[in-house]
Amino acid sequence: MVAKTPFLERVEKALADEHLRGAVRYTAENLYMKRKAVMADLNALAVKGEAIGTFEELRARAQEIKLHTLAHLDGYLKQAAEQIRKNGGVVHWAKDAEEANRIVLEICKKRGARKLIKSKSMVTEEIHMNHALEAEGLEIVESDLGEYIIQLAKETPAHIVIPAIHKTRRQIADLFGAVAGHELETDTKTLAGFARATLRQKFMNADVGVTGANFVVAETGTICLVTNEGNGRLTTSVPPCQISLVGIEKLVPNLEDLAVMMGLLPRSATGQKITTYFNMITGPRRPGEPDGPEELHVIFLDNGRSNILATRYREVLTCIRCGACLNSCPVYRQLGGHAYGSIYPGPIGTVLTPLLQGFDQWDELLQACSLCGACAENCPLGIQLHKHIIHLRGELVRQGREHPLMRTALKAVHFAWTRPGVYRFVARSAHLGVKPFIRRRADGTEYLDNLPSIAAGWTNSRTMPAPARKPFHRRWAELQREEGAK
Amino acid sequence: MSAEQDFLARVAAQLGRSPEAAPPRFTPSRPLPDVGPKGAEALAERFQKELERINGVVHRVSDASQVAPTIVRILEEALGPARAGAAGNAGGTAEPNGAGATAVARWSDPVLDEYGIDQALEGAGYRVLAYRPGDDGRAFVEQVEKAPAGIVACDAAIAETGTLVMASSPNRGRTVSLLPPVLIAVLRKEDIVFDSVRVFRRLAQSPMASQVIFKSGPSRSSDIENDLTIGVHGPGALHVILL
């Protein structure tokens, strides 16, 4: 028996959870189909001269924008920082998660802030900000409806765009009921109404609003937030202090570039032409304005990103976190986000997580891929995720991290396949060698089942054709002889 | 400053060079094309169609004198029962326009003054809530939070997506378009452009406001079992008076 690793345990748990799998399948398919339809619309409009480009054209332009920015990232970061300061904001630099959390805590301490409200942000998940702040006795409340549900359930998101897809309305009503102190009806209107009223009070009483950023425009120092519910706007309009945590890869040079990025992001994420809110924040509240934060802090976070710049994986940093690769991935569709164990699941998580955090915990993630390439096809930045997965697998082998049995098996294959005599012997005797595992179908064809050891992983859920009784090289030789005899 | 220099030097080192003093000018391989219909009426029709697709309501009026009556009609349709209820809960009907009257928030921007909105609202029994220079900002936000509706104007609109563009300023509080459940926006036909490229280019001409929003339809979420719900955090109803 091969011992089960934590990853395989998570996979097994996910596969056994019929409800989770049904919800993930439905959501992923729904988003996938919506995306497909809206991209077809976009292409038709572009042909009519009613859109700035087809999907392919926007994708090429977006790649150009992001790759240019990454190639000059230090210059653009400097420009953005200077602009943010000119607008009255404060800029901080965080090398890693710990530094970022410490900066947030210091800002809160200085202001005497105890209550924080947060709009949906993957980067704050990445640095486990909630955990760090709660450990210091601060209250931090998620305001995106899905994230709020997940926070009450003390879970992690199952999808990067729709975090609570795996929760039923019954479960949500129970979670909200516990907050309300009485039972709630399970209809969407009641539940959403309860969240609106509860979170509205949290917004009104919050000392600090915390956001991530979808884009930061270097020429103006503008922070851009894309939301549908309006929580991003509330977070940046009501509390007296705003903290925005920004991964350094979020920069774009100019305002005009946003037209391209926004042409792609909502369409790729939810199949919308545009989200309800696209919010651009340039500095804190100006003199004479009635609302908006009086203090604005921007924390630029590296946390492993700059290391990727120097590698062949640089284009991974162009990711805009739309989730299109998740929705198109046959592995994600079976598992959902939890099995990955990483903050970023799906194909992008499989590539990004080991790049940001090293192979140690994450080498097995790289096996959660069939190399079909659907992710790259749907990616609005055309990131070749499946190719990166192959290269990362290669690095695993170079570092000697592959499964020992796999190493032995591949060495054996290499030995046999590079020696014609051995190869012929193996091909001839293969049928005999696996005979105990050969099953015969009604139509006479044969397949392998219940293979032992690491091969079990294959035959547990698939069938594999049995080796031929007479190998091809032998049949070929016979055929040639017959042809010659004619 | 040194934390910044260290940080940038590290990024530059990964790019294999010393830090840049400033980024180069980004010149894309091709300029973004000018697309879409040009005529004001064609743009207005497209805007209306797109906004209606995402649950917004468009009220077309032919001249400025109709703006205020349309606002009153929208409010009475949307809040009619709520108003009576509020008065009932307060334990009696306060005299109109007094402290007990329903307060409707609006931008104090002079753009809205010319429509005679205040007189019409007061005539219909509402109180008008607008921020004036020197008022306490926090107190204003708290009142706006209780207002059943907010009235704003628009800097621009995007026909391609049914989007309103609004920039904040001392006269244009962010929360007026955000906290009340009903949002009424007055849009002039000539302010509609076809796509966002034109808006971004215009924004790049002058310093950015502290907050510029693109708002497309009422607030929405599909976070509960993929079931679409309207009005989670922002307004649940969006009315555009198209002049």
**Hunting for tokens 């009220």 — which residue is that?**
B59
Interface probe, candidates A255, A312, A313, A327, chain B, greatest B C-beta count within 10 A: A255
Contact A290 B54 (CB under 8 A): no
B213 interaction partners in chain A (CB closer than 8 Å): 233, 277-280
Boundary (domain end) residue, out of A337, A367, A401: A401
Residue A254's CATH number: 3.40.50.10420
Please name the residue of chain A whose CA is at the shortest distance from the CA of residue B212: A280
Mean pLDDT of all residues belonging to chain B: 91
Task: Tell me the average pLDDT across B98-118.
Answer: 91
Indicate the number of domains in chain A. 3
Contact A164 B26 (CB under 8 A): no
Specify the pLDDT at position B88: 36
Q: Which two tokens stand for residue A252?
A: 């774009």
Specify the pLDDT at position B222: 87
Interface probe, candidates A256, A262, A356, chain B, greatest B C-beta count within 10 A: A256
The answer, yes or no, to whether residue B75 has pLDDT greater than 50, is yes
Judge contact between A204 and B179, C-beta under 8 A.
no
User: Would A174 be classed as within a structural domain?
Assistant: no
User: Would A375 be classed as within a structural domain?
Assistant: yes
Q: In this structure, are A397 and A288 located in the same domain?
A: no
Task: Give residues with Cβ within 8 angstroms of A23, minimum separation 6.
Answer: A158, A165, A166, A336, B225
Give the nearest partner residue to A256 out of B14, B32, B216, using CB atoms. B32
Nearest Cα of chain B lies from the Cα of A348 at a distance, in angstroms, of 22
> Predicted confidence band at B95 (pLDDT cuts at 50, 70, 90)?
very low
A139 class by beta-carbon count within 10 Å (0-12 exposed, 13-18 middle, 19+ buried): middle
Helices (H) and strands (E) counted in chain B, each on its own, are 7, 12
A68 interaction partners in chain B (CB closer than 8 Å): 26
Assembly ipTM: 0.93
Residue B81 DSSP one-character state: H
Specify the pLDDT at position B168: 97
pLDDT tens digits, B123-180: 999 999 999 999 999 999 999 999 999 999 999 999 999 999 999 999 999 999 999 9
pLDDT tens digits, B50-62: 999 999 999 999 9
Q: Which two tokens stand for residue A315?
A: 């284009």
Nearest Cα of chain B lies from the Cα of A321 at a distance, in angstroms, of 17
Contact B219 A229 (CB under 8 A): yes
pLDDT tens digits, A98-108: 999 999 999 99
Between A379-393, B4-18, B217-231, the lowest mean confidence (pLDDT) is in B217-231
B217 class by beta-carbon count within 10 Å (0-12 exposed, 13-18 middle, 19+ buried): buried
Q: Which A residues, 350 through 379, put their C-beta within 8 Å of a C-beta on chain B?
A: none
Q: In this structure, are A459 and A389 located in the same domain?
A: no
Domains of chain B: 37-220+228-242 (3.40.50.10420)
A145 interaction partners in chain B (CB closer than 8 Å): 221, 223-224, 232
Q: What whole-number distance in Å separates Cα of residue B168 and Cα of residue A289?
A: 8
Q: Which two tokens stand for residue A434?
A: 């696996």
Q: Is A226 helix (H, G, I), strand (E, B) or coil?
A: strand
Q: In this structure, are A45 and A114 located in the same domain?
A: no
Please name the residue of chain B whose CA is at the shortest distance from the CA of residue A239: B138
Q: Which two tokens stand for residue B141?
A: 């936000």
Q: Which residue has the higher pLDDT, B129 or B99?
A: B129
Q: In this structure, are A338 and A357 located in the same domain?
A: yes
Domain that holds residue A409: 404-485
Task: Give me the average pLDDT of each 10-residue run along chain A (486 residues).
Answer: 76 93 93 98 97 98 98 98 98 98 98 97 96 97 96 92 91 96 94 96 98 98 96 96 98 98 98 96 97 98 97 98 97 95 95 95 92 98 98 93 85 92 90 91 91 81 86 91 84
Q: Which helix (H) or strand (E) holds A367?
A: none
Boundary (domain end) residue, out of A339, A367, A401: A401
